[in-house]
Amino acid sequence: MNATVTAKKQWTKGFRFWSDREDLLGPLFLLPAVVYIIALVGIPFVIALAYSVTDVTVGNTSLDFVGLQNFQAILKTPQFKQGLGNSIMFTLVSQVIIIVLANILAIILSADFRGKWFARFLIMLPWATPITLGTIGWLWLLDSKFSPIDWVFRYLHLLGEPGALLGAQKNLFYLARLELARASIIMIYVWRMLPLAAVILMAGLTSIPQDLLDQADVDGASFWRTLFQIKLPLILPIMSIALLFSLIFTVGDMAVVYTLTRGGPVYYTQILPTWAFYKGIESGALAEGAATALFLFPVLLAVAILVLRFSRRTEVT
Amino acid sequence: MIRVSRLLKASLRYGAVILFCLFSASPFIWMLITMFKQDRDLYRSANNPFLFNEPPTLAHLDLLFKHTNFPIFLWNSVVVGVLVVLITLAISIPAAYSLARLVGRWGERAGIGIFLVYLVPPTLLFIPMSRVVVSLGLSNSIWSLVVVYPTFTIPFSTWLLMGFFKSIPRDLEEAARVDGYSRLASFVKVILPLSISGVVAVIAFTFTLTLHEFVYALAFITTSTQRTISVGVPTELVRGDVFYWQSLMAAAAIVAIPVGLVYNVFLDRLVAGFTMGAVKG
CATH at A216: 1.10.3720.10
pLDDT of B170 > 90? The answer is: no
Question: A 263-282 residues with CB below 8 A of B?
Answer: 272-273, 276-277, 280-281
Model confidence pLDDT, tens digit, residues A192-206: 999 999 999 988 888
Burial of A185 (C-beta count, 10 Å sphere; 0-12/13-18/19+): buried
Question: What does DSSP assign to residue B224?
Answer: G
B-chain residues near A184 (CB < 8 A):
none
* Residue-number span of the structural domain to which A297 is assigned: 70-283+292-316
B-chain residues near A63 (CB < 8 A):
none
pLDDT for the residue B75: 96
Q: Is residue A41 assigned to a domain?
A: no
Q: How far is B51 from chain A (nearest CA, A)?
A: 11
pLDDT for the residue A2: 64
- Residue B102 vs residue B57, higher pLDDT: B57
**What domain count does chain A have?**
1
pTM for this model (two decimals): 0.91
Nearest to B28 among A125, A127, A203 (CB): A125
pLDDT for the residue B227: 94
pLDDT for the residue B2: 67
Nearest to B260 among A129, A259, A286 (CB): A129
pLDDT for the residue A3: 65
pLDDT for the residue B280: 43
Kindly state the average pLDDT of the residues B264-275: 81
pLDDT for the residue B278: 55
- Chains A, B: CB contacts within 8 A come to 295
pLDDT for the residue A316: 43
Lowest-confidence pick of A23-27, B21-25, B185-189, B257-261? A23-27
A-chain residues near B90 (CB < 8 A):
32
pLDDT for the residue A206: 85
**A40: Cβ–Cβ under 8 A, 6 or more apart, which residues?**
B129, B132, B147, B148, B150, B151
Residue B276: pLDDT band (50, 70, 90) is low
**Is A159 in CB contact (< 8 Å) with chain B?**
no
Q: Are B127 and A286 in contact (CB under 8 A)?
A: yes
Nearest to B182 among A20, A138, A141 (CB): A20
Phi/psi zone of residue A21: left (φ > 0), alpha (ψ -120 to 50 degrees), beta?
A: beta
Tally Cβ neighbours within 10 Å of residue B192.
Answer: 15
Q: Residues A94, A97, A102, CA angle at the centre, nearest 5°?
A: 115
Residue B32: pLDDT band (50, 70, 90) is very high
**Is A191 in CB contact (< 8 Å) with chain B?**
yes
pLDDT for the residue B231: 93
pLDDT for the residue B133: 94
A146 and B151: CB-CB below 8 Å? no
pLDDT of B200 > 80? The answer is: yes
| Mean pLDDT of all residues belonging to chain B | 88
Report residues of chain A scoring pLDDT below 70: 1-5, 8, 11, 13, 16, 18, 313-317
Q: CB under 8 Å, gap of 24 or more: what pairs does B238-247 form?
A: B243/A140, B244/B60, B244/B63, B244/B68, B245/A140, B245/B34, B245/B42, B246/B34, B246/B35, B246/B36, B246/B37, B246/B39, B246/B42, B246/B60, B247/B35, B247/B60, B247/B61, B247/B63, B247/B64, B247/B68, B247/B70
Q: Is residue A43 assigned to a domain?
A: no
Compare all CA atoms of chain B with the CA of A150 and give the residue at the minimum distance.
B45
**First and final CA of chain A: distance in angstroms?**
68
Q: Is residue A248 assigned to a domain?
A: yes
pLDDT for the residue B281: 35
Residue B49: pLDDT band (50, 70, 90) is confident
B267 and A199: CB-CB below 8 Å? yes
**Is B281 in CB contact (< 8 Å) with chain A?**
yes
Q: Phi and psi for B239 in degrees, rounded to 5? A: -105, 105
Can you say how many angstroms the Cα of residue A298 is from the centroid of all Cα atoms in its chain? 17
pLDDT for the residue A313: 64
pLDDT for the residue A317: 38
Kindly state the average pLDDT of the residues B146-155: 95
Q: Is residue A23 assigned to a domain?
A: no
Phi/psi zone of residue A265: left (φ > 0), alpha (ψ -120 to 50 degrees), beta?
A: beta
Best of B11, B19, B24 to mutate (most A CBs within 10 Å, chain A): B24
B123 and A276: CB-CB below 8 Å? yes
Model confidence pLDDT, tens digit, residues A126-146: 999 999 999 999 998 998 888
Best of B108, B127, B129, B173 to mutate (most A CBs within 10 Å, chain A): B127
Kindly state the average pLDDT of the residues B232-250: 81
**Is B117 in CB contact (< 8 Å) with chain A?**
yes
Q: What is the CA radius of gyration of chain B?
A: 24
Q: Is residue A262 assigned to a domain?
A: yes
Residue B113: pLDDT band (50, 70, 90) is confident
Does domain B68-274 match CATH 1.10.3720.10?
A: yes
